[in-house]
Amino acid sequence: MQILRTIILAVIVLASMSVTDLYASVKTSLGRPDLEAIMAASTDPSSDYYYPKLNKRFMDNDTTMTDEDFQYFYYGTLFQEDYDPYRPTFRPKQLEVLRPIYLKERQSRSERQMMLDYAVAALEDNPVNIQQLVHRIYVYEQNGKYDLAKIWQYKLNHILLVIASSGTGIAPEVARVVVYPEHEYDFLNLAGLTATGQRFEEPSYDYISVNPRNQSDPEGYYFDIAEMLRQYFLKHPSELNGQDGEAAEAPVN
């Protein structure tokens, strides 16, 4: 899809690990998330970062959200009552119908409307659904709704920048932090990288191997899923310990 090639500078910055100056400028603006502060603010109705407030701004055509607003919004997802990192696929039967449509070089107007209807509903269910943000932008562009495409691209770019600023991903101590397992793959795919494998590394890292684009590129990237797992086991305590009393393994992506 054209939109996958035109997410503009944000994705280039995320993808190009060799462009150290550009990456550093992104990292300086935000840095690694302070999850304790984000948890406190996102659940405090008096805070400007209260999640429902940020969610309303995100879902409206609001382009005044700052980098920090986006960081609190994205990671605030972790601390919402209905959060589940391994939540079921949204309307799986409808998505199955759409899969071959996504793969077409061009879609009919009615097919694009199906894509848009699903994307809008899926984003109301989960506002940080990266794949559906991409599809929403794509349909707006194809339908000539360039202002709307630009607004939603702004939102997607900032979510990607938030993930990029959380770390380089080249080692566990600088692992990137995501709120859903699929975001590991979404992020790398939008950066033009193809995942070739995945493994879990203790205590709380996903390592995604990729096809390096050149000899200087890493062969894979680390993602920190500690808070994701903590929230999952808080809501599924029966899965925390195995029958022998030892900690259970992380759920399979």
Q: Which band of pLDDT confidence, cut at 50, 70 and 90, is reported for residue 30? A: confident
The answer to whether residue 139 scores a pLDDT higher than 90 is yes
What's the CA gap between 68 and 161, in Å, rounded? 11
Please, which contacts does 228-233 make with residues 24 or more away whose CB atoms are closer than 8 Å?
Answer: 228/78, 228/85, 228/178, 228/179, 228/180, 228/181, 229/85, 229/204, 231/78, 231/79, 231/83, 231/85, 232/84, 232/85, 232/86
Q: Please report, rounded to a whole number, the percentage of residues in the chain having pLDDT higher than 70.
A: 83
> What's the pLDDT tens digit per position in 144-154?
999 999 999 88
pLDDT digits (tens, 9 = 90+) for 225-242: 999 999 999 988 887 765
Contact at 8 Å (CB) between 251 and 86? Answer: yes
pLDDT of residue 172: 96
pLDDT grade, residue 248 (50/70/90)? low
What is the pLDDT of the chain when averaged over all its residues?
A: 85
pLDDT at 3 over 70: no
The pTM of the full predicted model, rounded to 2 decimals, is 0.86
Question: Is the pLDDT reported for residue 15 higher than 70?
Answer: no
Mutual angle of helices 182-190 and 146-165, in 10-degree steps: 110
